[in-house]
Amino acid sequence: MSAREAILNRVRAARSAKALGERNASHGPGTMSVAKSAAPSGDLVSQFSRELEALDVECHVEATPDAVRDRVRQLADGQSVLSWDADRLPYDIGAVLSSPAIGTDARGRQAEATLGVTGCHAAIAETGSLVVLSGPGTPRAASLLPPAHVCVVRRADLVATMGTFFRERAAAIAGAACCTFITGPSRTADIELTLTLGVHGPGRVTVVVGP
């Protein structure tokens, strides 16, 4: 199967699912998991977690880099992964990924991925949005092409508002190939207002917040 056919088949499969009433039984409903030992330490983490929960995004707040790596290892187990380059991933999570595809690999290999794994360049607490700046080592495809996306967020990446991000990161935005805001799973509705997940991007998003 060509890369084009693989991508089109994925889009067709996503269009046939109803967004609000159906979810893959092997994954279960979206949840927010916060270990007692990793209770949110600041208002931004708490607000960000609440917004993610409202967006039906699974969220895990971890206390240590080791816990972050363990969580990503669990989430990636048995999956074909497309990721950022290892040196661009936080907490050395590239070490727990088994032979992931990266942005310079053949399109066919990237199209086969079932899970995208990335970091982010900011996380907006007021909206639960993830900000990804595309460039060398941080391909846009990793957060958009696979049907599921795991994003690892450092607490230092959290900002209160979108305005704060634009003000503080203007130079980085200007230098990026593309600036993408990801607010929950991809949603689209046809003329009959039938909402469907996963047509224009991942239908399932998981966020792991580290220390």
- What single-letter DSSP state applies at residue 157? G
pLDDT at 117: 98
Q: What is the pLDDT of residues 48-67, one digit of tens each?
A: 999 999 999 999 999 999 99
Q: What is the pLDDT of residues 79-103, one digit of tens each?
A: 999 999 999 999 999 999 999 999 9
* pLDDT average, residue stretch 101-128: 96
Q: Domain spanning 3-17+33-209 has what CATH number?
A: 3.40.50.10420
With a cut of 80, say whether residue 3 has pLDDT above it.
no
Which range has the worst mean pLDDT, 21-30, 91-100, 102-111, 125-134?
21-30
With a cut of 50, say whether residue 43 has pLDDT above it.
yes
**CA 92/CA 57 separation, integer angstroms:** 23
With a cut of 90, say whether residue 114 has pLDDT above it.
yes
pLDDT at 18: 44
* pLDDT average, residue stretch 5-32: 53
Amino acid found at 167: R
pLDDT at 202: 86
Bigger pLDDT: 4 vs 185: 185
pLDDT at 20: 40
**CA 72/CA 91 separation, integer angstroms:** 10
Domain ranges of the chain: 3-17+33-209
pLDDT at 14: 60
pLDDT at 192: 63
Percent helix, strand and coil across the chain, each to the nearest 5:
35, 25, 40
pLDDT at 200: 62
E strand residue ranges, the chain: 32-34, 58-61, 81-83, 115-118, 122-124, 129-134, 148-153, 158-159, 178-182, 187-189, 195-197, 204-209
* pLDDT average, residue stretch 154-183: 94
Which range has the worst mean pLDDT, 33-42, 163-172, 173-182, 194-203?
33-42
pLDDT at 21: 44
With a cut of 80, say whether residue 4 has pLDDT above it.
no
81-83 and 115-118 strand pairing = parallel
